[in-house]
Amino acid sequence: MSWIRYLLYFVAIALVTWMMTQLEISSPGSLKLHVIVYEGDRLGTSEFSPIEIVQPLILGICGLLMLWVAKHCPSQRPLAIPFAGLALAFIIRECDYFLDRYFVDNLWQVLVGITGAFVITYTYRQQRRLKIALARLWPSPGLALLFAGAVILFAFVHLIGHEPLWRSILADDYRRVIKLAVEEFIELLGYFLWLIGAIEYAYQARAIAYREPQPAAQRRRDRRRHDQEGPY
């Protein structure tokens, strides 16, 4: 039943968040939200934080769920593949620090560009099937949660995490770690919503696949053939 799933979502999110907050409370600095990597580093980084490590893992699960939908639910493939591509692009974006530092500077931008080009091209070529997939699914709690997560990640977190805002609020008491903490926890919330949305989307796509074993075009052809034959 759906209420059991949502209760489990609540418990899981509350447990992970509680563990992270208690880790920092019991051992200050454990979340590593402001690490000075080298001498003379004025900004520091939060890329070594457990929060930053959890985020790509969540995205990886979302991507795998979308690939599962693409494989086992053909009617939703035109929608699931772009979602998987977006998950991959976000994983690359979350790993930008390590790609730039240990491989090639701005490598992550090239990889995101390639992934984005694939998603745009695939979506354009499959736009008719994409509309059919959306029509079969909408309204959908999974897509609503994915949309809510996207609003947080694409808009809300960037506005709230804007450094001039925190300099204005804290004035002389400004410390960058405060901005980073708020920004990372809000991002984590957005990724939690994406994970729940991906699970619900996969669950609903599976239900559609089992409910509609025949392609829609085949059913329409059978209906037209039956109407032409008449009742006798």
pLDDT, residue 170, reads: 86
Look over the chain and give the mean of its residue pLDDT values, rounded to a whole number: 83
The CA R_g of the chain, rounded to the nearest whole Å, is 22
Q: Say if residue 131's pLDDT is above 60.
A: yes
Q: Residues with Cβ < 8 Å from 48, sequence gap 6 or more? A: 32, 35
Residue 64: the pLDDT is 93
| CA 87 to chain centroid | 6
Cα separation of 211 and 206, whole Å? 9
Alpha-carbon distance of 100 to 109, in angstroms, equals 10
How far is residue 74 from each of residues 78, 80, 167, 218, measured CA to CA in Å? 8, 9, 50, 14
In terms of Cα–Cα distance, which of 221, 213, 220, 199 is closest to 75? Answer: 213
Domain spans of the chain?
Answer: 52-211
Residues in the chain, overall count: 232
The pTM assigned to this predicted structure is 0.80
Condensed to tens digits (0 to 9), the pLDDT of residues 1-27 reads 677 888 998 999 999 999 989 988 988
pLDDT of residue 57: 92
Q: Which of 55-59, 126-130, 134-138 has the lowest mean pLDDT?
A: 134-138
Q: What is the pLDDT of residue 228?
A: 61
pLDDT the model gives residue 232:
46
Alpha-carbon gap, residue 63 to 87, rounded angstroms: 5
Could you tell me which residue, 38 or 232, shows the higher pLDDT?
A: 38
Instruction: Look at residue 98 in the predicted model and tell me its pLDDT.
Output: 85
Cβ(100)–Cβ(107) under 8 Å?
A: yes
- pLDDT band of residue 72 (cuts 50, 70, 90) is confident
